[in-house]
Structures are given as structure tokens and as C-alpha cells.
Amino acid sequence: MPVEIVVEDKRWTDVGLESLCTLAVEAVLNTLDMNPTLFTVEILACDDARIADLNRDFRGQTKPTNVLSWPSVERAAPKDGDTPIFPCLKRDAELGDIAISYDTCAREADQAGKPFADHLLHLIVHATLHLLGYDHQRDQDATLMERIEVMTLGKLGVDNPYWC
């Protein structure tokens, strides 16, 4: 299985976290023609207090956020809009770590009028793409990442999260 989960906030146990995270990670890997059985992702399911600490420690931001990701290897494409460098099976089977906050995920889903599960799938798809070197800091990179996100979510039956 490509997903290993550490649950710090017990509210995550009632939402089918493991199956939804596995579904999202596998969908990304399948979309990119990567064999999901060859890779792992570790997920920390926490609350706003914990993710705020992580956000402060790793990004210098003093507030909670919905999701954070730490790739095991930097894979970003050197040129804006190019495909990132895909992992080497022999040394990069562990793609990296993701932390997700129940509080922020639930609040954002409620504010957007979206099902919690759909928003969770979106955040895990987004974070998994970050683990694979996709980013949205440069314009063409953002366009590429968004296109893959929308395509992957569509395969999961989730509407385009970027439509108003």
C-alpha cells in the first residue's frame, strides 16, 4: 500500500481517511503512469495547533494551513512549465511526507459548500503532486500542476476545485 498514516487527531478516524488518502495518492500516480505499488507516502493527520507548529518551523508562517508536504528529494523542473524529475525506483521509493489539518480541511470544505471527502481528496492530490516536484510558484508550473490536479480529481468524480 502506498500510504502510511499517523493519526494524531481522532476526528480523522470517522472520515475514512486511510481509504481516501490511498485513493488520492494512487490516482495521482496512475495519472502520471507510475506504478502505485512501488512508492510510499507518509501522512500525518493532525489538527490546527500541530500544523501551525509545523508551518512555523518549516515555512516561517505563524498560522495553521490545510496541508503541508515534504518531498524526500527535490524534484522540481529547472525550467518553468517542464515536467519535474520523476523518482528513481531504486532510491526514491519513499516520496515524502504530508501533514493535513482536520480543522482547516473541515472549515474550508464547509465555507466552499463542498463535501468534506472531496476537499480531502483535493488536498491529498495537491500535496502528492508537490512530493513529485510539481509546484505553483511560477506561472507555467502552476498551469501544469493545476491541469494534472483537475484531471486526477475528475477521474475520482470530484469537480474542478478551481471553478467558482
Ordered by start, the domain boundaries in the chain are: 3-155
pLDDT band at 148 (very low <50, low <70, confident <90, very high): very high
pTM of the model: 0.94
pLDDT band at 69 (very low <50, low <70, confident <90, very high): very high
- Amino acid code (one letter) for 152: T
Q: How far is CA 144 from CA 26, 27, 56, 125, 163, in A?
A: 19, 17, 28, 14, 16
What integer best gives the mean pLDDT of the chain? Answer: 93
CATH architecture under which domain 3-155 falls = 3-Layer(aba) Sandwich (3.40)
Choose the weakest-confidence range: 16-25, 87-96, 114-123, 131-140.
87-96
Query: pLDDT tens digits, residue range 118-135?
Result: 999 999 999 999 999 999
Mean pLDDT of 44-73: 97
Residue pair 43/18 in contact by the 8 Å Cβ criterion: no
Mean pLDDT of 39-68: 97
Given a cut of 90, whether residue 3 has pLDDT beyond it is yes
